[in-house]
Structure 1
């Protein structure tokens, strides 16, 4: 399948610190790709480059054939590339519904700055009703419809993250970047979120995911790329990444790959003699 997003030999340096050395990857149209790696591997830095919050020291990022170099985050979002963030940013004293409405208004929805004549003949009111219906649909989609009239600050942390997902989906993106979306969620909430990710993809939205919950990553991903110290060390389907010695060593330390291989061999021998 053709690439919707291409990261072309991107590097990021902060003085003498190399955050990303030479990252090159393509995200295929319609796939769920996970970007994983130990803490400090450069995952969020890569997200920030892709979405215009950080300028690369070298290389280029192209989205649907358009270079994103020099574009603002808002301009990139208008092209159809949306993201969520590691930390929630809700208005805690407003309802969940009003949080989404604020986001919709802030994205330059059609009714904003309606001309006086349009207001007089009721078009502005119609636009507002459309926005309210859109907000309700988004909250139903992410599973927060029943919590719409509760204060956002009263939601559990994981539920607050779903508000951020609703706001990202409100931009009607072609591709969605999710930065640690299940952080703070329990096992049941994570399972629900996995279903949501699949529903998002079913609606034609490509997904790039950064996440530390490895069982969730292995379950939901079509393909996984692995960063360590700012370099890509592995790429492939979940079953290949799960047993890759370089990945095991990056996560668990030197020698762990050999121990893992020995343990798996022992388990195989025991199964054969059972």
Structure 2
């Protein structure tokens, strides 16, 4: 297992190495004793859990339980005070978000972060890594220009396919700033899919989404799961969690309180106490 975090913008040379057969049955994500404090307030307090490959795992907890901070620590938005994050057999603790994304681990945010003055299609095309036209000198050199054009055509085709899958293709030429809240959530999912990750952390993807779009988004998540994607989902709607996630992990005061099937979690008195403040 690789344990050295990268010092530069580029990930280690062995970062893209394929998972060995021996590791195929190992959890895709392992979070071990994560801790994070802000000004003396402990947000995450020894959180430890695993996410198996090919699952939609739910992460729930009352307000202030540490869910979003845990997402930040796992994906490099914040650096943990202590603990370890292992993704696909590699220690990625302290990696920056783009380094984690290059490894195959990406996230969405509670508030979508599209580029409002670009079209939906342009937003999707912007996401993939390693584009040859990212450096000006490479984009204008005659010998490289053909490669840039060819890649742009491939990305455009991939973006159209992704937007069609999410039923956003009819909005492809619209500015992202004109989208509804639910459509922005779908576009954010399109952007992360364009990166072709192995695992996606979804932070309240259904907040502000109308029932029709919610059903569409959930259908797409199950289709993607069946295609081999892995999800860790933070969501406050308990019906969504209980009907679409397994297993379910419950955070309380920054640590894992319960982990199990939806039925086990739903009937655990500790979960009721955490949500209702002891009124059980």
TM range (shorter): 0.7 to 0.9
1:142 corresponds in structure 2 to 166
Instruction: State whether structure 2 residue 274 is matched by structure 1 residue 242.
Output: no
Equivalent runs, 1:112-261 vs 2, <5 Å: 112-113=134-135, 114=138, 116-119=141-144, 122-255=146-279, 257=280
Change (3 A) 1:223 1:175: same
Tell me, yes or no, if the aligned pair for 1:94 and 1:152 is still in contact at 8 Å: yes
Residues 224, 237 of structure 1: 8 Å contact kept? yes
Question: How far does residue 111 in structure 1 lie from its aligned partner after superposition?
Answer: 4.5
In the TM superposition, what is the alpha-carbon distance from 1:119 to its structure 2 partner?
4.3
Aligned counterpart, 1:47: 71
Counterpart Cα distance in 2 of 1:138 and 1:110? 21
Check conservation: 2:132, 2:147, Cα contact below 8 A. no
The answer to whether the 8 Å contact 1:118/1:124 transfers is no
CA shift for structure 1 position 213: 1.3
Contact kept? 2:127, 2:192, Cα under 8 Å: no
Match of 1:99, SS? Answer: helix
Using the size of structure 2 for normalisation, the TM-score is 0.86
CA displacement at 1:138 relative to structure 2: 1.4
Query: Structure 2: 5+ residue runs without aligned partners?
Result: 1-24
Is 1:5 aligned to 2:20, yes or no?
Answer: no
The corresponding residue for 1:109 is 131
* Counterpart position of 2:117: 93
> RMSD over aligned Cα, in angstroms?
1.5
Name which of structure 1's ranges 20-29 and 111-120 shifts more when overlaid on structure 2: 111-120
After alignment, is 41-50 or 69-78 more displaced?
69-78
How far apart, CA to CA, are the structure 2 residues paired with 1:207 and 1:253? 29
Larger radius of gyration: 1
Alpha-carbon offset, residue 232 of structure 1: 1.2
1:67 Cα shift?
Answer: 0.8
Residue 169 of structure 1 aligns to a residue whose secondary structure is helix
SS of equivalent residue, structure 2 residue 127: helix
* Structure 1, gaps ≥5 residues long: 258-274
Say whether residues 1:63 and 2:87 are aligned partners. Answer: yes
Secondary structure of the equivalent of 1:30? coil
Find out whether 1:34 has 2:58 as its counterpart.
Answer: yes
Count of residue pairs the alignment pairs up = 253
Partners of 1:124 and 1:61 in 2: how far apart?
Answer: 36
Q: In structure 2, what is the equivalent of residue 265 of structure 1?
A: none
Q: Distance in 2 between matches of 1:13 and 1:133?
A: 45
> Structure 2: how far apart are the matches of 1:110 and 1:243?
53
